[in-house]
Amino acid sequence: MNKFSIAKSILLAGSVVLMGGVASAAELNIYTTREPGLIQPLLDSFKNSTGITVNTVFLKDGLAERVVSEGESSPADILMAVDAGNLVDLVEKGVTQPVTSSVLTETIPAQLRDPKGNWFALSMRARVLYAAKDLDLASFNYEDLADPKWKGKICIRSGQHPYNTALFADYIAHHGAEETEKWLAGVKANLARKATGGDRDGAKDILGGICDIAVANSYYVGLMRSGKGGEEQVAWGNAIKVILPTFKDGGTQVNISGAAVAKHAPNKEEAIKLLEYLVSDDAQKIYAEANYEYPVKAGAAADPIIASLGKLEIDPTPLTEVVSHRKQASELVDKVGFDN
């Protein structure tokens, strides 16, 4: 069985059929942990402008393992994932390859891409502060979450959730492990309830008077206020104001969705062409509006709901450094009993 016969079998297993079993030069294949529906308008637009058809295989889990098992016969051209940690994991498991593109390096801030060109951010979400509308608060530092003035007033989801371990890892990058442990203990002491639930529960609990502030992701504001999260959540979204916190010596912590070119990509040239398209003005606008995320390209339009939150000053800490501290951040969460 040759390489392309194997590719046909693999893609059939992933519910994608390549006509004749061979991916032509006018096709490329994405393996993605992100719901394909979020990016389908972009892929359709890309096909209309280039003639290149993009096939998608959705893998909720086991992306790296799938590509490893396929080996050199893998038909995957692009690997797409949410969370910088997942992208770094793909590199560490040897399923990506470095690419050189002036379009990508000139468009995407250095801290939001792999320094060796193995992966690139395509959109961002910020770890922000939800606050009661009547609260006299216009700015905030992450460090202030441990201030005793907030005792019994903070809501947050589990400290072990990736959204929070990323924030805590960034805190380690700024202040070191010892100070982060003290800070986490201080935040725990200020909780209004157990660290649990989801980010949108923070807004719900502010409306319910359980807490005054909550730590959550920016894109949920768009989902709530737009009604896409359900009619009940419109009230949650409208009950809060959103503040873009910063580290005292940095900016706002962000995480990303991004992509890499697969190690054995049969259509590497087309794959790079798609990544370059995804950071164009038009594509960034579509990408950002699909899930209320921030574009990575400076000057590209965000959804009006997200744009109304204010100017985002991205923390300069490279995401590769943040990811390197995640294991330690997780250990500190357990050490201080954050979720207990």
Whether 236 and 322 map to the same domain: the answer is yes
Dig out the tokens for 35 from the structure. Answer: 């719901």
Q: Tell me the one-letter amino acid at 168.
A: F
The pLDDT of residue 35 is 82
Residue 308 covered by a domain: no
The pLDDT of residue 309 is 96
Residue 89 covered by a domain: yes
43-60 mean pLDDT: 92
Average pLDDT, the chain: 91
pLDDT tens for 236-245 read: 999 999 999 9
Place 333 in a pLDDT band, splitting at 50, 70 and 90: very high
**Structural domain boundaries enclosing 90:** 3-124+255-302
Secondary structure of the chain as H, E, C letters: CCHHHHHHHHHHHCCCCCHHHCCCCCEEEEEECCCHHHHHHHHHHHHHHHCCEEEEEECCCCHHHHHHHHHHHCCCCEEEEECHHHHHHHHHCCCEECCCCHHHHHHCCHHHECCCCCCEEEEEEEEEEEEECCCCCCCCEHHHHHCHHHCCCEECCCCCCHHHHHHHHHHHHHHHHHHHHHHHHHHHHCECCCCCCCHHHHHHHHHCCCCCEEEEECHHHHHHHHCCCCHHHHHHHHCEEEECCECCCCCECEEEEEEEEECCCCCHHHHHHHHHHHCCHHHHHHHHHHCCCEECCCCCCCCHHHHCCCCCCECCCCHHHHHHCHHHHHHHHHHCCCCC
Whether 94 and 155 map to the same domain: the answer is no
Whether 241 and 331 map to the same domain: the answer is yes
- 221, pLDDT greater than 70: yes
Whether 325 and 188 map to the same domain: the answer is yes
Residue 264 covered by a domain: yes
Whether 145 and 110 map to the same domain: the answer is no
- The domain that holds 225 is classified in CATH as 3.40.190.10
The pLDDT of residue 153 is 98
The pLDDT of residue 41 is 87
Residue 307 covered by a domain: no
- 112, pLDDT greater than 50: yes
Say how many domains are in the chain. Answer: 2
- 202, pLDDT greater than 50: yes
pLDDT tens for 256-314 read: 999 999 999 999 999 999 999 999 998 998 888 888 999 999 999 999 999 999 999 99
What is the pTM for the complete model shown? 0.89
- 318, pLDDT greater than 50: yes
Place 147 in a pLDDT band, splitting at 50, 70 and 90: very high
- 3, pLDDT greater than 50: no
pLDDT tens for 175-198 read: 999 999 999 999 999 999 999 999
The response to whether 171 counts as a known ligand-binding position is no
Whether 189 and 243 map to the same domain: the answer is yes
- 1, pLDDT greater than 60: no
- 9, pLDDT greater than 50: no
The response to whether 219 counts as a known ligand-binding position is yes
Beta bridge partners of 120: 113, 259
Place 17 in a pLDDT band, splitting at 50, 70 and 90: very low
Whether 15 and 85 map to the same domain: the answer is yes
Dig out the tokens for 166 from the structure. Answer: 């990323």
